[in-house]
Chains A and B, each alone.
Chain A
Amino acid sequence: MAYTLTRRGLLASAAAVPLALAAPRVSAQARMRLVIIGGGFGGASAARFARDAFPDVEVTLIERARTFTTCPYGNLVLGGMRKIEDITFTYDGLARRGVRVVHDEAVAVDASAKTVRLRNGGPVSYDRLIMSPGIDLRWGAIDGYTEDAAERMPHGWAPYVQPITVLERQLRAMPDGGVFVMAIPDNPFRCPPGPYERISMVAHYFKQAKPRAKILALDAKNGFSKQPLFQEAWEELYPGMIEWRGASNDGRVVRVNPTAMTVHTEFGDTVKADVANVIPPQMAGRIARDAGLANQTGWCPVKPQTFESALVPGIHVIGDASIAAPMPKSGFVASTHAKQAVAAAVALHRGETPANPVYFNTCYSHVGTDYGISIVGVYRAEGDRFIEVPNSGGISPRNATMSRERKEEQRRLEAHYADGWYEALTRQMFGLG
């Protein structure tokens, strides 16, 4: 009887131990120290995955801000479909799950000593470092577009530099009949469909509040993500309101004058704006550039199997800062970079071979009420490059390929799926579910 009880007790307690703890470990004494810089889609997803998948790894997340406002769904704030607080999160959920969250700024990395220097606190030592630094804006790349100019002509492209509400307020104050001008950068940049969702959401707002207003989008390239879907939708939902001008049609903005509220194109056109949204060219966040992780492009080359830097060993660079084309710079794909990088970092630390990666992206865009479209991509590593799996992925079917009823159903479903996508992704990365 005593034996049975003991045995049952053992079984019960052993069964309560998480699976990964029950598995054999290479090193029982020294817990691996995984340090993550940056608490955006890449970094927060990395912290959550590391905490769940590797209970015996110490996970530290370094993030200067106490709250995080997402870039995704920022355009819905402009459209009046969301409020800023709906898209703002804290790190409490991750902390509750056992992530050590350090609210401080990482100012330098010593890759040989394997330490991160903080602005306020003492240095943090790591066995492997994951860096998800996001983007910095290239001030001055468009002549006259400085940090000061951005107050008159908001970018609304990096919430940690400027909240989307700055642009929102200007749009609300704009008179009916005014002109909203956008300057859109060349590739590569954060969130390829983002500017066009923004056009759509501003048009959605104008249609209700300022029906005589116009939108002029000046683009430094000749084509864009989900272009046929956006343009079909604009014609259908906002006829006559939107003009999009590509690079070969003198769409590239080279200079701005925030005092006169004018933007100037490559071949000499001057456009007067009532509200101007200038999205400048971008580069990897400063900490990554300072740590020697970026090449001459300003972005960070990585090994496709592991996201380990091609320039500095022991540091994995994920998300928008990495060079990972043909993957887009998107929040969702950053969350899959994150998981692969974490698993690879742990495997490499333990002397194991990292699993072959599969990276995945879905980007939904809201174009109007109950009108959503998407682009999907599945990617793998092939030698020293990333590839998109042939015959997979792609954009939502175009109008002409479906009956009217089927199309309306498809667009309505995708608008709802977009909301589910946003909720699922943010709940996971912030440890809420």
Chain B
Amino acid sequence: MLSTLLRGCCIAAAGGVMVLLSAGAPAHANDEVRIGLITGGCVGCHGGEGGGGHGIPNIAKTMTRAEFVATMKAFRENKNNPTVMNRIARGYTDEEFALMAIRWAKPE
């Protein structure tokens, strides 16, 4: 499933019409739901659009997927002068970072 998710651009069939989804969108509605669940923690502070505010960084389309995942992994190691993100990042898997990146990173 992950390899499908991580492909940049997906084509889905809907009622015989080929729909070109926006770049970075997941292949299937169930994947989108799963991403919504995994990013349930992110949106609690960064907001539904990821824009942040009150000093909370904007995470919407500010990084490539690789940069996003690398940032999260660095937080796990207490890098980048963290306040809360180190404590948060240690609770998630690499696969979940990749799924988060689909929602937050620049379209690929």
Asked whether any CB of chain B lies closer than 8 Å to the CB of A419, the reply is: yes
Q: Which residues of B contact A389 (CB under 8 A)?
A: 90-92
With an 8 A cutoff between CB atoms, is A421 at the interface? yes
Contact A417 B46 (CB under 8 A): no
**A200 CB-CB contact with B under 8 Å:** no
Interface of A is mostly: helix
B44 and A374 form a contact (CB under 8 A): no
0 or 1 for each of A37-63: is its CB under 8 Å from B? (1 = yes): 000000000000100111000000000
By a CB distance below 8 angstroms, the chain B residues around A52 are: 36
Q: Min CB distance, B47 to chain A, in Å?
A: 4
Residue A65 at the B interface, CB < 8 A? no
Are B29 and A19 neighbours in the complex by a CB distance under 8 Å? Answer: yes
Interchain CB contact under 8 A, A413 and B45 = no
Any B CB within 8 A of the CB of A81: no
**Cα-based distance from A352 to B33 in the complex (angstroms):** 13
Q: Is B41 in contact with A378, judged by CB distance below 8 angstroms?
A: yes
In contact, B41 and A336 (Cβ under 8 angstroms): yes
Q: Assess whether A5 is interfacial by the CB under 8 Å rule.
A: no
* Interface window among A176-184, A190-198, A357-365: A357-365
Q: Which of B20, B30, B54 contacts A11 (CB 8 A)?
A: B20
With A20-B32, A355-B37 already in contact, the answer to whether A15 and B19 are too (CB < 8 A) is yes
With a cutoff of 8 Å between Cβ atoms, the chain A residues found around residue B89 in the complex are 392
Q: Which residues of B contact A (CB under 8 A)?
A: 12, 14-15, 17-21, 25, 28-30, 32-34, 36-38, 40-41, 43-49, 52-56, 83-84, 87-92, 96
**Chain A residues at the B interface, C-beta cutoff of 8 Å:** 10-11, 14-15, 17, 19-20, 22-23, 49, 52-54, 332, 335-336, 339-340, 343, 352, 355, 357-358, 360, 362, 374, 376-378, 389, 391-394, 396, 410, 413-414, 416-417, 419-421, 423-425, 427-428, 433
Counting from the closest, the 10 A-B pairs by CB-CB distance are: A378-B91, A360-B41, A420-B54, A392-B91, A23-B29, A22-B14, A392-B90, A420-B56, A416-B55, A424-B47
